[in-house]
Structure 1
Amino acid sequence: MAAWVSVSDWSGVGSPLSGSVNFVGAANYAELVSGGLATRDFGIALRNNVWYVLLVVPTQTFLSLFLAVLVNQRIMARGVFRTAFYFPSVTSSVAITVLWLFLFSASGAVNKILSHLGVTGPNWFHDPTGVVAALLGLFGIDGSRTLTGRFLGVTAWEWLSGPSFAMTAFIVMAVFTTSGTFMLIFLSALQSLSPSVDEAAMIDGAGTWTRFWRVTVPQLKPTFFTVITLGLIGCWQVFDQIYTGTQGDPGKTTLTPAYLSYQAAFSNQKWGRGSAIAFVLFAIIIALTLLQRWVLRDKDDVRARRAERRRRRQSRRRQRSSAQAVTAEGIMEGAGR
């Protein structure tokens, strides 16, 4: 149904399968890349979400692995630590978003802490400045006049200026609320590993870091694939924090494709465009999942499969050569008679 809506002119009134609804082909998709306000909004949403993914997925992955290794040690009250680390993951995202709005307000706890450190905190949810642009501005660097090339209606400087302070607050919140869940996944994987391999490496004289990096981490590749895949899906579908917190403000710097799809369909009654954005988002998630599956593939297993395919091809060639030789021999014997 959603696929049909994305290629039709359905206005949201009546059934999308009624005779009054016309097929418009890729027109709704073309609006996203052909220029104009729709293209710029889509480009801004992609820019925001790209920074969100680049900062959240690696951070939550390595932080959750660190927490899993930490609570996997024989320490006192490790059950309490596991519960404490996991608790934010089971708390309502709406409730945490409201809490975040208070913590990161202009007079909130975060700016109070920064003031004690001699730093003037920004007006987090009202400042559209990118974090990277703000840091470069401290050194007098401003690329807004030189990096003017555009992609999807967004200049190169806007792409490189980083997430806004508001989106940075959401990035911190995402890491805070999801690391506990992924910690449990890594913890389960760590506890399922056989200690014999680690003990053998220890006997060979490998240090703690070498054993972890060379022995433990390679065995966690399937877990990394699971965690990164779930992280990518969650980051590209971020919606409830934006809807509850900022609704794309300030200056559309917290606008995401998921929220833009909702806004186009339910607020602007552009149901075809909203569905098209959703399917583009789906394609992005599938492409990134396949990419990271290729990156995290087991190279030894790939080489073994290639060697097995070569062996089979060589075996088939030898069989064909043997069959041709037998046929030629039969022909020669027949000619001799």
Structure 2
Amino acid sequence: MATATVQLRPRVRRGGIRGREGTAGWVFVAPVVVVLGLFLVIPILMAAWVSLSDWTGKGSPLSSKVGFVGLDNYKAILTTDGLARSDFMTSIRNNFYYVLLVVPLQTLLALGLALTLNRQRLRAKSFFRTAYYFPSVTSSVAVSIVFLFVFSSSGVVNAALAKIGVNGPQWFADPRGILQLLLGKLGIVDANSPPGALTNHSVLGLSWWDWLSGPSVAMCAIIALVVWTTAGTFMLMFLAALQDIPVEVEESAELDGATGWQRLRFVTLPMLRPTMFLVLTLGLIGTWQVFDQIYIMSQGDPGKTTLTPAYLSFTTSFKSFQWGQGTAMSFILFAIIVALTLLQRWFLRDRSDEAPRRRRRTLARGGTS
């Protein structure tokens, strides 16, 4: 018998659009890459150079007259005793208390509003959603000016406190910390003459008494403003996530006899974990970068108790013309934000997948589960 042979022709690579997908992709992406390079990457690299130089803001930072000082700007802020270190640590303390209050308060308020507006039988939902979201889209300058009048000595807040027999403070002229005032009211320590154990020992240029002061009265007014203006944005995020939860899940939990609190704790909140992480991350980044309200309402006063790293970086660069130190503060602030975001991500991780993941790693190494 004759054996038939089949001759295979070589596969011809086709041209056309599919043959040039890589080139076409780079053509479409090139404008974005160029824009990001010009307005993001290059400025960051130049800022990194400025933080390592003695540039004073005159002329080009790349000129031969600008000297390289290495890490001297960072040392002046972090390790060298002096005004620069004291001011920066004061701003870190102020911003720490600001974050500690703003992030939980705005998250809880936003979640509460979202849960309320997600009810099926609630009337005028569109009105309430618009009303709660409106402060978030209002100009921060306009809202800050309004709050200056509201928290003035003869403003609405002090007038309301006077109705219940409370003498309101001078909000933007009182540098006392609320923790110091609370300890003084409870008789634990004398706010005017604190114990030497707290004042004679210092950490990073500030005494223990300064670190434990808490947010000042003026900072509390700014905190109230920020919580009121940002809760609406996060409310919409939570509301969108709540509407994505299948109705069958809620109904199944209700048929199983779960109470409202149990459904919230064991059904709703676990399904809101990704949105919760997003809200907390955005809140954390926004609070460490606070600038507008500080610039308009207090400019760091009274007694530098509302000074923040972002505002201090601005004044150091544009007013004191110490651009190296001002830029170094920005990079330190960036490192703080990244570190806290990673810590927050680790804390909010899904622990239910850890055991299977560890088991797979053990098997991959040749061990036993």
Mapped pair 1:95 → 2:122: no
d(CA) in 1 for partners of 2:203, 2:253: 51
Q: CA RMSD in A?
A: 1.3
Structure 1 residue 20, shift from structure 2 partner: 1.4
d(CA) in 1 for partners of 2:91, 2:204: 10
Report what 2:35 is aligned to: none
Report what 2:50 is aligned to: 5
Q: 1:223-247: CA deviations, max 9, x gaps?
A: 1110001001110000011111111
- Residue 328 of structure 2 aligns to a residue in which SS? helix
Report what 2:190 is aligned to: 142
Report what 2:221 is aligned to: 169
Structure 1 residue 137, shift from structure 2 partner: 1.6
- Trace 1:66-215 onto structure 2 (pairs within 5 A): 66-74=112-120, 75-140=122-187, 141-142=189-190, 144-146=194-196, 147-148=198-199, 149-215=201-267
- Trace 1:169-318 onto structure 2 (pairs within 5 A): 169-314=221-366
d(CA) in 1 for partners of 2:190, 2:325: 35
Q: 1:157-191: CA deviations, max 9, x gaps?
A: 11111111110000000100000000000000000
Structure 1 residue 152, shift from structure 2 partner: 2.4
d(CA) in 1 for partners of 2:190, 2:81: 26
Report what 2:81 is aligned to: 35
Structure 1 residue 78, shift from structure 2 partner: 1.2
Query: What TM-score comes out, normalization by structure 1 length?
Result: 0.91
Residues 43, 151 of structure 1: 8 Å contact kept: no
- Residue 257 of structure 2 aligns to a residue in which SS? coil
Mapped pair 1:51 → 2:102: no
d(CA) in 2 for partners of 1:312, 1:47: 46
Q: Which amino acid aligns with 2:67?
A: N
Report what 2:38 is aligned to: none
d(CA) in 2 for partners of 1:18, 1:258: 27
Aligned-residue identity in percent: 57
Q: Which amino acid aligns with 1:72?
A: N
The unaligned stretches of length 5 or more in structure 2 are 1-45
Query: What TM-score comes out, normalization by structure 2 length?
Result: 0.84
d(CA) in 2 for partners of 1:41, 1:285: 19
d(CA) in 1 for partners of 2:342, 2:226: 23
Residues 52, 171 of structure 1: 8 Å contact kept: yes
Deviates more, 1:25-34 or 1:193-202: 193-202
The unaligned stretches of length 5 or more in structure 1 are 318-337
Report what 2:18 is aligned to: none
